[in-house]
Amino acid sequence: MKKIFTLLSLALLLVACKNEKEQETNADNTEMAETANMEQESDTAFVDIEPISHATAVFHWGDDVFYTDPVGGAEAFSEAETPDFVLVTDIHSDHMDAQTLQAFQLDSVKIILPQAVKDQLPPEMNEQLIVMNNGESIDHMGYNITAVPMYNLPQSEDAMHVKGRGNGYVLEKNGKRLYISGDTEDIPEMRNLENIDVALVSMNLPYTMPVDQAADGVTAFSPKKVYPYHYRGQDGLADVQKFKKLVNEENQDIEVVLLDWYPDMAPAGQN
């Protein structure tokens, strides 16, 4: 009887040790997952994006502020901080508006843009302008800025976005990389991007590309975080929820962030 009691006690002790070990393992796994999530968040939290409308946004990167494609007049930026610099991607009116740029009255602020945009701005703005062509890089205010192609596929003389006219941009600072696509389709230059932390990718027909093509392109270069933007087309707003679903079906590690770029319009699938 004493032997049986001893064996039973030993068995209970082994079970308790096993349960304790499993609890420690589960706790370690949970801690590792939380640490990974925190690291992922810190990798992409370096920039805060404030949508104004469509392709127009205010970026906060540390203490720096810059605008992309400012249109809508100075009143659209009445609550925004003064920019340290401005990026313009293309000549179309949803990206370039001379009156808005002049309304800021920021003579010392540089505007980075393609030659085609400069050609349409008043000569008195020339001292503010920095022209970049596809493939060129500059260092400005601590950022390395590279102009990357943005264009329609297939290419043709009457394409709405011909290769070489407009710029997408990759900005890099302190090892962090931000990609702003501009009006592009799923082009090789986008698919071949590397080490992108945060990306803004356009998707609207017939001007750029459908959501499935955009999702395929995004999963090809796998940014850590992606924001769909510039998604108003001829038939209303593109289905960005579908974009998110397609991206995460292919790669669940890509964080898809849906911001409200069109507060006065209902998303696809809603009244």
Distances (CA, A) of 2 to 7, 10, 12, 14: 9, 12, 15, 18
The model carries a pTM of 0.83
15 and 137 inside one domain: no
Query: What type of residue sits at position 258?
Result: L
**Ranges of residues in the chain whose predicted pLDDT is under 50:** 5, 7-8, 15, 25, 30, 32-33, 35-38, 40, 268-271
- CA–CA gap between residue 249 and residue 182 (Å, rounded): 25
5 and 121 inside one domain: no
Count up the domains in the chain and report the number. 2
pLDDT given for residue 267 in this prediction: 53
pLDDT given for residue 108 in this prediction: 87
92 and 106 inside one domain: yes
pLDDT given for residue 155 in this prediction: 86
pLDDT given for residue 113 in this prediction: 98
Does some domain include residue 219? yes
172 and 67 inside one domain: yes
97 within 8 A of 90, measured Cβ to Cβ: no
pLDDT given for residue 181 in this prediction: 98
38 and 86 inside one domain: no
Does some domain include residue 266? no
- CA–CA gap between residue 161 and residue 87 (Å, rounded): 18
36 and 70 inside one domain: no
pLDDT given for residue 33 in this prediction: 44
pLDDT given for residue 158 in this prediction: 81
Q: How many CB atoms lie within 10 A of CB 216?
A: 16
Does some domain include residue 265? no
pLDDT given for residue 237 in this prediction: 96
123 and 239 inside one domain: yes
Residue 32's domain comprises 1-44
80 and 179 inside one domain: yes
CATH number at residue 184: 3.60.15.10
79 and 209 inside one domain: yes
* Model pLDDT for residues 166-199, shown as the tens digit of each residue: 999 999 999 999 999 999 999 999 999 999 999 9
Does some domain include residue 84? yes
- Which three-class secondary structure string do you get for the chain? CHHHHHHHHHHHHHHHHHHHHHHHHHHHHHHHHHHHHHHHHHHHCCEEEEEEECCEEEEEECCEEEEECCCCCHHHHCCCCCCCEEECCCCCCCCCCHHHHHHCCCCCCEEEECHHHHCCCCHHHHHHEEECCCCCEEEECCEEEEEECCCCCCCCCCCCCCCCCCCEEEEEECCEEEEECCCCCCCHHHHCCCCCCEEEEECCCCCCCCHHHHHHHHHHHCCCEEEEECCEECCEECCHHHHHHHHHHHCCCCEECCCCCCCCCCCCCCC
101 and 152 inside one domain: yes
Does some domain include residue 267? no
pLDDT given for residue 21 in this prediction: 56
